[in-house]
Structure 1
């Protein structure tokens, strides 16, 4: 139960000044008129009237703003928390995954021009010298980092820039000093396994091993060649223990950054692949065992799953063996991210996009639990399905159809392949608009196949609609529209009457009528109902009873049809 109510009038005499209480009254109209008068007489630059209701339980007032007039409040400067400090405090902080990811974004153009990754930049003296000599690249990168951080935390931007300049200088000096002192062993004279065993237990083992691995990539151009070299290093790694982990962790960090770049991934998997093909190739590389099992079960998948060979196949074998789990998770997340993005999988081939999407759905579902959860996979395909029911996609999907029946069949296939209740409803609306159109009825009633063939086509279309997992309402609406068209075709051709009067054995005529009534050779609706009624009439005829009694074996094949038509339990 609400308690007493009163109204408070607040004013601001100048734009930067705070709100001050001017008046409190129990009369709402009086408070509003006083506020407008103060503003009109320019005694304040802004006024506000609030309704204050006392809560009897807590004895606190609940405030609701009734009126606000005048100059808006000036934005307040964020108060800097004493605990706020730069995200990176020491050169070692630049080697964390988050920091390397940020470096990859702010230095993206420079890294792409030089064909290297952030990990290599942080471990190769020659790259550090090249970056330092590039001029304003470092300064621009620092500004790209410091300005957003200043806006987020309220720290002075100039202090952040000076801090990061010192930090970058220290990090560069560390790498160049290590290069001058020969801290990074040369693999030309020593084996990788020997280096790993010697570094095990030392303080800077991760930094030194990173420099060794990055140094092994010097002079190797192209993502495919670099991946091949990294796989060679993995083959030469120690067999077990901490030394092997030391090598594999360094290789994995470079692999994550190398395959995260769109250009690098395209070069490794093949530049001829489109977006859908690239994603399918990534899934096959990450989970080769599951994909091979799917292809063995359904050989048609081999036509849609690109082959993975060379260095990518070598990497796939290691991923399948459980190595590089961070890389596997990163690639799986990338696939989900691309599925949820706006890019078309097959920009010039809408039916092909449906095919590759089905393939990806089967592949990712097969790997669910190892790389991704089933819920994550389902959510990704629900998000992707939203793009399949847009007007642009539907138009490109049916543009090759020459008949409205072809459009209906294509739209039915679309209904089968989208996921999510909302997407199913959207796809069903496209299909409903097609089968309820005058064009659909006119084309089906026009010249062409025989009436019996048309009814078979409509029956098949209706069965496909029922199998599309649409809502009951949509299934009934679309199936009913198809049934009405089928009923019109059957009525014009008088097919049921012709079957009943045909000079054929009664079991044969009953079989034909029951197939119509069961939805096998005609859609459910008026045509099936008339066939069912005619079959019942024929069963009741004395001559039919006599014929069936004389040959009981003829009833055996009819019983299944009778149950399907609802004439038997």
Structure 2
């Protein structure tokens, strides 16, 4: 008998700032210590301890003391908790609150998905309650999970919370069974339509009977998809009176949102498109109220129905679930368009523009930015970039495509990574050979480089990366100038000195050569020509005043550009 009142609890602490977390309870001392050692080997920076838990008959409480502890460093033992450990849910009615139902969905997710029922159905159906209570250890495991989480942040022990949760669940089940036997849980068959059900009970203080009748009707259907369709049908049967209509819509919203809270329920709504991009597009159109959008024209038809209902503002909980599913899919590691990077880039841009306009309480700007930052990171893997540049025929096309990608990338870290790809492309031998020794006129290749540099400077890269890109374009431009001898050819040409100086300055002001050492070199050579004997002699002639005015204007323009930079 005594042995049955002793067990051993294994706790783990992942690092100094972490709290002790109950990992598992074992009946045997040696088994608990062995399990603790395995945990420690998997958490080398943490510590573990094993405590012996003995039940004291006199105080009706467990007495605990540590029998074994090891770890990389000695952590302080958590202070003994002596509080009453009050739970936020005190009565069966509290279990129908949104936070309680969300907790149930998380800790018993497998059971709900396997049975294809929702927490609200469970709390209003004796059959489902009996199934859960007598179905094995799932209820016990759920209680243990909630108790451990509560004890971690609360003022009492796991055992105290377990006791309270057992008492609360017992009260809830007792009420369901008693109400079922007494007939307080009405059958949906008593009413002709959903509207008549709502009208019969809309004036009551609690929607308990409406929910019970809904749960009864849904029990006839197998699968979230069929239940979703039934609820959609009910949405077309709302009462005409405003107060009753509001009540009916609120209850449908709760049941619909609970179904959509499960992945299989969301799949029943939007279907199973092969590509993630199609899922995201459908969710975005539903959230935005675009019921005529192309993505919603095929099956399932319930998606269009829900979109129209949400558009009226009558299903706020459903809209929250759609927003949550949308953000979750945007954060997934999968590509939205795995076979076409360019199509994915276009889709990401389209979605970003659409959702920024639709943002609100359910879809906050910071959450969108975070989701699209994660989505942007998927586009910047070496494999994806390789696919993106695969069809480029020349190095300048590769650079052009990479620069265009910047407008579709969110997040400073992602833009920094993109800048790294651009610099790497500029620095490889193929790119250098194409610009320095490629076909056509050198001035055309320089003009191309200058256009790229200008676009990079207008981009939203971090300042350090923007400066690095400008320098990289300028460095390649210097090599083109050196190989082509363009500046020297102008300096040593047969034209008058002021004409040659003007030509050099036009290279800068017209964006024919990159900003930096390239433009400085051209400007310095132009000034030397102006100050040369030939240049000064030409400047003294009255016929050259217009030419001098043009040169002065270009020098001011260049000076202004340098100051702005």
Change (3 A) 1:208 1:454: same
- Structure 1 residue 314 corresponds to structure 2 residue 315: no
For residues 147 and 376 of structure 1, the distance between their equivalents in structure 2, rounded to whole angstroms, comes to: 29
Structure 1 gap ranges (5+): 1-70, 293-301
8 Å contact from structure 1 (residues 285, 308) kept in 2? no
Aligned ranges 1:361-440 → 2 under 5 Å? 361-369=352-360, 371-382=362-373, 385=376, 398=389, 404-440=395-431
8 Å contact from structure 1 (residues 432, 478) kept in 2? yes
Secondary structure of 1:462's counterpart equals: helix
For residues 553 and 383 of structure 2, the distance between their equivalents in structure 1, rounded to whole angstroms, comes to: 45
After alignment, is 397-406 or 465-474 more displaced? 397-406
Cα deviation, residue 364, structure 1? 2.1
For residues 212 and 422 of structure 1, the distance between their equivalents in structure 2, rounded to whole angstroms, comes to: 53
Change (3 A) 1:526 1:159: closer
Deviations 1:110-161 (A, max 9, x none): 2112222222222234333433453333333333333433454364545544
- Aligned pairs, number: 479
1:200 to 181, 187, 202: 202
Question: Paired residue for 1:262?
Answer: 263
For residues 187 and 487 of structure 2, the distance between their equivalents in structure 1, rounded to whole angstroms, comes to: 90
8 Å contact from structure 1 (residues 491, 527) kept in 2? no
Cα deviation, residue 98, structure 1? 1.3
What's the TM-score once normalised by structure 2's chain length? 0.68
The CA RMSD measured in Å over matched residues stands at 4.7
- Structure 1 residue 455 corresponds to structure 2 residue 457: no
For residues 73 and 110 of structure 1, the distance between their equivalents in structure 2, rounded to whole angstroms, comes to: 38
Question: Paired residue for 2:188?
Answer: 186
Question: Paired residue for 1:252?
Answer: 253
8 Å contact from structure 2 (residues 406, 415) kept in 1? yes
Aligned ranges 1:329-368 → 2 under 5 Å? 329-336=320-327, 338-339=329-330, 345-346=336-337, 350-368=341-359
For residues 124 and 549 of structure 1, the distance between their equivalents in structure 2, rounded to whole angstroms, comes to: 97
For residues 517 and 72 of structure 1, the distance between their equivalents in structure 2, rounded to whole angstroms, comes to: 67
Cα deviation, residue 199, structure 1? 0.5
What's the TM-score once normalised by structure 1's chain length? 0.68
Deviations 1:296-343 (A, max 9, x none): xxxxxx8xx844662212211222221222332343344445545656
Cα deviation, residue 265, structure 1? 2.0
After alignment, is 475-484 or 417-426 more displaced? 417-426
Cα deviation, residue 366, structure 1? 0.5
Change (3 A) 1:79 1:530: closer
Question: Paired residue for 1:48?
Answer: none
Cα deviation, residue 392, structure 1? 6.7
Cα deviation, residue 271, structure 1? 0.9
Cα deviation, residue 187, structure 1? 4.9
Deviations 1:462-498 (A, max 9, x none): 2321231224443333223223323433553456788
- Structure 1 residue 445 corresponds to structure 2 residue 441: no
Question: Paired residue for 1:214?
Answer: 215
8 Å contact from structure 2 (residues 124, 185) kept in 1? no
Aligned ranges 1:27-66 → 2 under 5 Å? none
Cα deviation, residue 431, structure 1? 2.4
1:492 to 469, 483, 487: 483
Deviations 1:22-61 (A, max 9, x none): xxxxxxxxxxxxxxxxxxxxxxxxxxxxxxxxxxxxxxxx
Secondary structure of 1:444's counterpart equals: helix
Structure 2 gap ranges (5+): 1-72
For residues 418 and 318 of structure 2, the distance between their equivalents in structure 1, rounded to whole angstroms, comes to: 37
Question: Paired residue for 1:479?
Answer: 470
Cα deviation, residue 233, structure 1? 0.8
8 Å contact from structure 1 (residues 389, 423) kept in 2? yes
8 Å contact from structure 1 (residues 277, 356) kept in 2? no
Deviations 1:172-218 (A, max 9, x none): 34334444426324257422222212212324x41211122233333
Cα deviation, residue 286, structure 1? 1.1
Question: Paired residue for 1:282?
Answer: 283
Secondary structure of 1:134's counterpart equals: coil
